[in-house]
Amino acid sequence: MALEERALFTERPETRAGRYQCPKCRRTNEYSIRWVRRSKKERLPAGADEGDRAKFAKLRDYLLRLDDEVTCKTCGKKFEIPSQHSLMFVDQLLGLPNEEELEREINIASGEPEPEPEVKPALPARFTRKSSGWK
């Protein structure tokens, strides 16, 4: 008899922050998302057959997202979280790029120019000349 998947993992609830854009107002905010971390148990439970042993050897720790939608902090409309990240393996989380690098790479890939640094107008010469002191 094959074991259930829950017998091979320990479950622990977890909350992680995520940045999502509201489709209505187009504002990006940080939201706290509920996840379940399923960690592989140290040893195989009793009553496992050869198929369970082979499956247990290939198992990896993963995160499973519980929240499917969040409420926009700006306009109050509920929207769905993109589903491509509903399951994430823990070993894939290590070495992810930080938020600024990721935004820059997305802008380059989409063909949008990088936002130019704000150019301040030059100061007039009367403000940049060295003072000759009081006369």
**pLDDT bracket for residue 78 (50, 70, 90):** very high
Reported pTM: 0.59
Q: 125: helix, coil or strand? A: helix
Structural domain span for residue 16 = 1-90
Residue 104 lies in a domain: no
**pLDDT greater at residue 38 or residue 106:** 38
**pLDDT greater at residue 130 or residue 22:** 22
pLDDT tens digit sequence for 6-63: 778 888 998 888 888 888 888 888 888 899 988 888 887 777 778 878 887 888 888 8
Integer CA distances (angstroms), 3 to 21, 37, 45, 56, in order: 40, 19, 9, 10
Residue 128 lies in a domain: no
Chain position carrying tokens 């997202």: 65
Residue 41 lies in a domain: yes
Residue 96 lies in a domain: no
Q: Which of 77, 72, 76 is nearest to 21 (CA)?
A: 72
* Structural domains counted in the chain: 1
Q: Is the pLDDT of residue 1 over 60?
A: no
